[in-house]
Structure 1
Amino acid sequence: MKAAVLFEAKQPLSIEEVTVSKPGPREVLIRTAAVGVCRSDLHFVDGAYPHAMPTIPGHEAAGVVEAVGSDVTTVKPGDTVVTCLSVFCGHCEFCVTGRMVLCVNPSTRRGKGEPPRLMLGDTAVAQMLNLSAYAEQMLVHEHACVAIDPDMPTDRAALIGCAVTTGAGAVFNCCDLEPGETVAVVGCGGIGLAAVNAAKIAGAGKIIAIDPVPEKRALAEKLGATHSIDAMSETAADEVVEITRGGVHHAIEAVGRPQSAATAVKVLRRGGTATILGMMPLAEKVGLSALDLLANKRLQGGLMGGNRFPVDIPRLVDFYLRGLLDLDSIIAERIGLDRINHAFDELRKGDATRSVVVFE
């Protein structure tokens, strides 16, 4: 199969012929239909986060099941599926207490002594985030994918695998948002736009989008933001406080920069909660001041939107098919796999929303 292989950080990906193994017990072989180009992949490509090499990035995907190994019970050949990087074992402490997104049980991967799932000639290819989706096929654990309504277009379904699950999940699962409460979303890329859309679905009152790009702010307003503010303005946080008469109940950071996290904390009202979704440089820290603590402000992570993806993803698909969730507007371009480096260049510029690699 053709795949985009990363041999070295800070170098372009190379299209190579990679061999994929046959599915073993509890494994699913998927013909990839579409995969989004996510900033999380860029962190590994640019070396901000370490990873074994060579590897195939890509983790926001949809496709069709081609074959399954023994003991697979959740999907069957012919099913349209969305993959999710938060693969779970189903029996560890995190899983049985409803926090599947935190599962790191190694039983979902092939162990030492077993043949690798991916090979480039005689060299094993490290599977990135349990998926490696910039490839014509994916071989994954059955708990890394979920069957969806076959009427769902796969290029839009792919976005649900990461951006939408994370952004919408932050609203539905992490924030415990009540109808009428106010929300600020810092950063209007794919994740931030999904958070804006989900806040509208959840019945939020004022929804304030903060981003430096005018086109992204306009798109956020199309998806449900009641106000938008230029993130480059020195008075951005003060404007949010003024609009909401004291600050927001919930601030969602969807960029991955310390300044954005600081803004998320600054725009909170007393008792408000900031949820950090972006992948920041590993050496960075985010905190609350003594005055913030006295005001009962809270700061939390929101890994993958705290998802329970076998339940959440089909619901998000239903939201789209019913016209509640707008995924069409998030896609900036559809490209072939051979233009993957172009898509990363566009992501580095920060102006576009989502590029989607589509396999014919």
Structure 2
Amino acid sequence: MKAAVLNQIGDTKLELRDDVSTADVGPREIRIRVKATGVCHSDLSAMDGTLPALAPGIIGHEGAGVVTEIGSLVDTLAVGDHVIVTFVPPCGSCPNCLRGQPHLCAIHAIAAFTTPRFRVGDTPVFGYAGLGTFAEELVIPAAGAVKIAEDIPFEIAALVACGVMTGVGAVINTAKVEPGSTVVVIGCGGVGVSVIQGARLAGAAQIIAVDPVLDKHGTARHFGATHATTPDGLAALNAELAGSMGFDYAFDVVGIPATIRSAWDNARRGGTVVVVGAGRADAMVEFSAQELFLHDKRLLGSFYGGATVRRDYLRLLGLWREGRLDLAGMISKRITLDEINDGLDALRGPGTLIRQIVTFE
């Protein structure tokens, strides 16, 4: 089959090959024919070493497709089912799952770093985050797929697998934004736009979008932002709207020390700061012991939007069906797997792309 291979960490290009095969389907696993996958900034972060990944490997972690084979012990899915994949399959029985935090389940996540999902000739090849959706087929644990209705377009379903779940979930699950509150969102890419949509769904009165790219301001307003500014203009907007006291909730969707610090500085005393962006392990943010004590702010990480995927995927699709969550508008461009490197290059630039979707015929 065809797949885009990362030969080593640090490569800026993926090698498109047609001699890739999947691992065999185990008793509790399924084979999926990938129909659509999103090109996410986390894929770039895997390639350059910001996020942990193994090479040689198949990148891609945001996808949807059709089940074509099931293992002998799989009774939750059937051949022909349409599914969305998840890069954090919940095992259902570990301490994290039992305490109601299945997005922190490490059982299958650890296996992703020890179990190659593909082969190129005799060489074992790993799937990024246990998936590898830049391939025509994948073999994953049955727990890593959520069945959806057959009338949902695959490109719509693929968006839910990462970017939308991460952004909306950060608002609804992690921060629990209250109606009538004020929200600032730093970074207006695909996940940032999803945070904005989540804040709108939660009933926030003011949603301030912050991005250095001016063309993204109109996009942010389209998805629900009430105000938009560059980072340099945020202090003035804070003064105008909040008397320089800060906003109720501040979301960093970039993941670098400067933007995390900005989120902290622009949250009010007693407010909530949520780190959504995936930063480097060696990127350090500095706070004084006194300000942590005096400001009484909540500083929260938000991994995968605190998702309970079997509940939340279907909730998000329900909101999409009712016209309350704009997923089609998030698709900036449809490309083929042959164009994946061009798609990644576009994502590296300062443009206004929200999500590129690779569609498989």
TM-score, normalised via structure 2 length: 0.94
The one-character-per-residue Cα deviations of 1:54-82 (angstroms, maximum 9, x if unpaired) are 10010010111111112223222111111
Which one-letter code corresponds to 1:269 in the other structure? R
Counterparts in 2 of 1:77-156, with a 5 A limit? 77-106=79-108, 109=111, 116-156=116-156
Matching of residue 359 in structure 1 with residue 360 in structure 2: yes
1:130–1:144 contact (8 Å) kept in structure 2: no
Cα distance, 1:3 vs structure 2? 0.5
Match of 2:282 in 1: 283
The 2-side partners of 1:303 and 1:208 are apart by 22
Range with bigger deviation, 243-252 or 257-266? 243-252
Cα distance, 1:111 vs structure 2? 10
Cα distance, 1:109 vs structure 2? 3.7
Counterparts in 2 of 1:16-55, with a 5 A limit? 16=17, 17-55=19-57
Match of 1:63 in 2: 65
Counterparts in 2 of 1:296-335, with a 5 A limit? 296-335=296-335
The one-character-per-residue Cα deviations of 1:115-174 (angstroms, maximum 9, x if unpaired) are x43111001001210111100011111111101122211112111100000000001100
Which one-letter code corresponds to 1:6 in the other structure? L
1:206–1:244 contact (8 Å) kept in structure 2: no
The one-character-per-residue Cα deviations of 1:230-269 (angstroms, maximum 9, x if unpaired) are 12x2x41342353134211111111122111111111101
Question: Residue 242 of structure 1 is aligned with which of 240, 259, 269?
Answer: 240
Match of 2:200 in 1: 200
Q: Secondary structure at the match of 2:269?
A: strand
1:29–1:137 contact (8 Å) kept in structure 2: yes
1:109–1:141 contact (8 Å) kept in structure 2: no
Cα distance, 1:297 vs structure 2? 1.0
Aligned-pair identity in percent equals 40
- Compared CA separation, residues 70 and 339, structure 1 to 2 (3 A): same
The 1-side partners of 2:123 and 2:235 are apart by 51
Cα distance, 1:47 vs structure 2? 2.9
The 2-side partners of 1:200 and 1:271 are apart by 22
The 1-side partners of 2:212 and 2:42 are apart by 20
The 1-side partners of 2:50 and 2:111 are apart by 24
Q: Secondary structure at the match of 2:191?
A: helix
Q: Secondary structure at the match of 1:184?
A: strand
Match of 1:271 in 2: 270
Cα distance, 1:287 vs structure 2? 4.4
1:265–1:288 contact (8 Å) kept in structure 2: no
The aligned length equals: 356
Computed over aligned residues only, the root mean square deviation of the Cα atoms, in angstroms, reads 1.8
Which one-letter code corresponds to 1:275 in the other structure? V
- Compared CA separation, residues 72 and 262, structure 1 to 2 (3 A): same
- Compared CA separation, residues 207 and 321, structure 1 to 2 (3 A): same
Q: Secondary structure at the match of 1:133?
A: coil
Which one-letter code corresponds to 1:57 in the other structure? I
Q: Secondary structure at the match of 1:263?
A: helix
5+ residue gaps, structure 2, are: none
The 1-side partners of 2:163 and 2:109 are apart by 26
The one-character-per-residue Cα deviations of 1:262-309 (angstroms, maximum 9, x if unpaired) are 111111011111110111121112344322431211211100011101
2:112–2:126 contact (8 Å) kept in structure 1: no
Range with bigger deviation, 212-221 or 301-310? 212-221
The 1-side partners of 2:8 and 2:134 are apart by 16
The 2-side partners of 1:355 and 1:6 are apart by 19
1:87–1:130 contact (8 Å) kept in structure 2: no
Which one-letter code corresponds to 1:264 in the other structure? A
The 1-side partners of 2:201 and 2:300 are apart by 22
Q: Secondary structure at the match of 1:305?
A: helix
The 1-side partners of 2:40 and 2:282 are apart by 21
Q: Secondary structure at the match of 2:203?
A: coil
Which one-letter code corresponds to 1:263 in the other structure? S
Range with bigger deviation, 70-79 or 218-227? 70-79
2:36–2:158 contact (8 Å) kept in structure 1: yes
The 1-side partners of 2:247 and 2:99 are apart by 30
Cα distance, 1:107 vs structure 2? 8.8
Q: Secondary structure at the match of 2:78?
A: coil
Q: Secondary structure at the match of 2:176?
A: coil
5+ residue gaps, structure 1, are: none
Q: Secondary structure at the match of 2:258?
A: helix
- Compared CA separation, residues 152 and 244, structure 1 to 2 (3 A): farther
Q: Secondary structure at the match of 1:125?
A: strand
Match of 1:259 in 2: 258
Matching of residue 2 in structure 1 with residue 28 in structure 2: no
